[in-house]
Amino acid sequence: MNNNNKFLEFRSKYPKFIYDSFDIEESDDTINVTYSFIIEGLSNFKPSWVFQKPNYFNIDKFGRDNFNILVFNLGLVELVSYWKITCSPTIEIRAGFLDTKQIEWWKKLYLNGLGEFLYINGIYDNLKIENDIIDSQGIPFMTIVNSSKRNCAIEKVPFKLEGNLIPVGGGKDSVVTLELLKDSFNVNTCYIVNPRGASLTTANIAGYSEVYAPKRTLDVNMLELNKQGYLNGHTPFSAVLAFSAYISAVILAKQNIVLSNESSANEPNVEGTNINHQYSKSLDFENDFRWYCDNYLLENGPQYFSLLRPWSEWQIVREFSKHPQYFKDFKSCNVGSKKDIWCENCAKCLYVYIMLCAFLEEEDIKTIFNKDLLNDIELKHIFEGLVYSDTDKPFECVGTKEEINLSLNIYIRKLKEKGKEIPALLKSFEILNEETFNKLLKQYEVNFDTKNNLNETFKKCLKEVNY
């Protein structure tokens, strides 16, 4: 059965998804959260989170109702991983209450955050816009209803916030943020969900011997249903990160949640659409999340923004190349993340390789990768998706085609200057003429996207970097 038919069959067979409840257990040093989601007639799910609790934080002192609201909202983004199994047309909220504006906010996140999932599974073919988004059977794509009158208005909580919570994934972007914010080291905390080798190691290299590391556990029933052929695919993990980081910033009394998302994250993967693998890393989501926090979470609470938003990926790689202490330990490959390796066969690996080749010498590249990826003809299809305008960009966290082309032009110039052979994947690559190359290079040398949420202190931090 193809996924088009699965989508319609599952929606018909399982018309309701229920966000039933959540449970919070507080011990001396942890806060344990368990959610209860139900797909009627199919399965129950109980994913969980464990947040470390410092001795200065107390839920009752903060306000138990207030903390419940923060946990409730994390559940609203957590549920998308389970809802997508059947794409049930109705989501019933029993664990809390959403007003009309909140419902529209969440519907936007679910639709855009699942853009890749809907595209890859062919579900977009079954959707059309008629006042609301409906499927080919005339049923609204998603209806969110409340079955609770529970008050979800958060009370004012006066408390002092200081310093930065910095999500660290173990890749080049968060490394650059850690280095840019080293002057505020004493009030910074690294935030890592389910830490892996590269995330811990890069934080340690930056000087953070301890990190704040909540544990997120997926329900095994979801994993089993995935194996059985129910709908599966990419979900907006960065949105999960946003809400969980917000709770963590409250627990730690941090003033800022400082992301490492660049301006390139705003570019869609499929031309002529809004389908973006990185939607929850985009400025659109960042602005929406800030609005949601201001209106439905804490007044004057933690501020969420990306420090690197004014920069392109090209500029981030250029800055990363100044810090060789990270070269052998950082990892950006999602395929190899569980083994803490570069798989050297995916779009992310090839992309990072291309970008680094523009700035690093051959011996440094060998410190990172075990082979010359640009000589691997098996990667030709991926290469074309990264480089050429008439092919869709791979569904990965990669930069724009323009900056990838700029990096390749710099690399080819370096090879020619040294009299070295051009790699196999670049044999037919058309280099830019001198005028276009210089124009593009100048553009990226001084690029500073003004569409960002940085205050003057953080803007200064970027502008003081000496190029």
Coil/strand/helix, residue 37: strand
Whole-number pLDDT of residue 266: 62
Whole-number pLDDT of residue 194: 94
Coil/strand/helix, residue 127: strand
Q: Is the pLDDT confidence value at 83 over 60? A: yes
The 10s digit of each residue's pLDDT in 155-171 is 666 678 899 999 999 99
Average pLDDT over residues 266-270: 62
Whole-number pLDDT of residue 316: 92
Q: Which of 40, 128, 134 lies closest to 83 in space, CA to CA? A: 40
Whole-number pLDDT of residue 152: 64
Of the listed ranges 22-31, 39-48, 246-255, 278-287, the least confidently predicted one is 278-287
Cβ 117 vs Cβ 43: under 8 Å: no
And the tokens for 466? 């000496």
Q: Is the pLDDT confidence value at 467 over 60? A: no
Q: Is the pLDDT confidence value at 146 over 80? A: yes
Question: Does an H or E element contain 169, and which?
Answer: none
The 10s digit of each residue's pLDDT in 323-381 is 999 999 999 888 877 888 989 889 899 999 999 999 999 889 988 998 999 999 999 99
% residues pLDDT > 70 (the chain): 92
Q: Is the pLDDT confidence value at 383 over 80? A: yes
And the tokens for 126? 């079954």
Whole-number pLDDT of residue 97: 94
Average pLDDT over residues 426-455: 86
Identity of the residue numbered 393: K
The 10s digit of each residue's pLDDT in 99-118 is 999 999 999 999 989 888 88
Whole-number pLDDT of residue 442: 85
The 10s digit of each residue's pLDDT in 300-329 is 899 999 999 999 888 999 999 999 999 999
CA distances from 347 to 172, 194, 359, 379 (A): 16, 24, 19, 8
Of the listed ranges 9-13, 14-18, 72-76, 432-436, the least confidently predicted one is 432-436
And the tokens for 447? 């690029």
Cβ 213 vs Cβ 52: under 8 Å: yes
Tokens 């480089």 belong to 387
Phi-psi category of residue 414: left, alpha or beta, with phi > 0 → left and psi -120 to 50 → alpha: alpha
Q: Is the pLDDT confidence value at 71 over 80? A: yes
Q: Is the pLDDT confidence value at 441 over 90? A: no
Whole-number pLDDT of residue 265: 59
User: b/e for 224-261, b at 16 or more Cβ within 10 A?
Assistant: ebeeeebbbbbbbbbbbbbbbbbbbbbbbbbbbbbbbb
* This prediction's pTM: 0.93
The 10s digit of each residue's pLDDT in 151-207 is 666 766 667 889 999 999 999 999 999 999 999 999 999 999 999 889 999 999 999
The 10s digit of each residue's pLDDT in 424-440 is 988 888 888 888 888 88
Q: What is the dihedral of CA 250, 251, 257, 260, to 10 degrees?
A: -150
% residues pLDDT > 90 (the chain): 61
Average pLDDT over residues 41-65: 94
